[in-house]
Structure 1
Amino acid sequence: MRSEPEHRRVALVAVVGGFLLGFLDFVWIKYLPYPVGNLGNSSAVWAVAAFAFGYWVRSGRWRAAAGAAVGLVVAVPSYYVAAALIQGDNWSMVWAPTSLLWMSFGVLAGTIFGIAGTWARDAGWRSVVGAALPGAVLFAEAGLEVRRIGQPSYGIDPLWDALLKTALGLLVVALAGRTNRQRGLALATAVPLALAGLAAFLLAGFR
Structure 2
Amino acid sequence: MRPGPRTVALTAVVGGFLLGFLGFAWIKWVPYPFAELGNSTATWAVGAFAFGYWARSGWVRSAVGAAVLLVVAVPSYYLAATLMQGDDLAVVWASTSLLWMVFGVLAGVVFGIGGDWARGAGWRQVLGTALPAAVFFEEAARFARRANDPSYPSGSAWNVAIDVTLGLLAVVLIGRSNRQRALALAVALPLAMVIFVGFALAGG
Category of TM-score, reference length = shorter chain: over 0.9
Is 1:197 aligned to residue 195 of structure 2?
A: yes
Pairs within 5 Å for 1:100-115: 100-115=98-113
The 2-side partners of 1:155 and 1:54 are apart by 34
Give 1:50's match in structure 2, choosing from 48, 51, 55. Answer: 48
CA shift for structure 1 position 59: 3.6
The 2-side partners of 1:98 and 1:203 are apart by 17
Pairs within 5 Å for 1:1-207: 2=1, 4-154=2-152, 156-206=154-204
Structure 1 stretches of 4+ with a deviation exceeding 6 A read none
The 1-side partners of 2:83 and 2:151 are apart by 30
TM-score normalised by structure 1 residue count? 0.96
The 2-side partners of 1:130 and 1:74 are apart by 23
Worse-matched range after superposition: 54-63 or 74-83:
54-63
The 1-side partners of 2:109 and 2:62 are apart by 8
The 2-side partners of 1:6 and 1:68 are apart by 15
The 2-side partners of 1:174 and 1:18 are apart by 26
Matching residue's letter, 2:79: V
CA shift for structure 1 position 158: 1.4
TM-score normalised by structure 2 residue count? 0.97
The 2-side partners of 1:150 and 1:170 are apart by 25
The 1-side partners of 2:190 and 2:91 are apart by 36
* Structure 2: runs of 5+ lacking an equivalent: none
The 2-side partners of 1:99 and 1:154 are apart by 22
CA shift for structure 1 position 41: 1.8
Matching residue's letter, 2:135: V
CA shift for structure 1 position 157: 1.8
CA shift for structure 1 position 156: 4.1
CA shift for structure 1 position 152: 1.9
Worse-matched range after superposition: 172-181 or 162-171:
172-181
Matching residue's letter, 2:29: Y
CA shift for structure 1 position 182: 1.1
- How many residue pairs end up in the alignment? 204
CA shift for structure 1 position 169: 0.6
Worse-matched range after superposition: 106-115 or 175-184:
175-184
Worse-matched range after superposition: 126-135 or 155-164:
155-164
Worse-matched range after superposition: 166-175 or 20-29:
166-175
Matching residue's letter, 2:19: L
1:131-189 superposed Cα distances (whole Å, 9 cap, x missing partner): 00111011011101111111222364211111111111111111111222111110111
The sequence identity of aligned pairs, in percent, is 63
CA shift for structure 1 position 201: 1.1
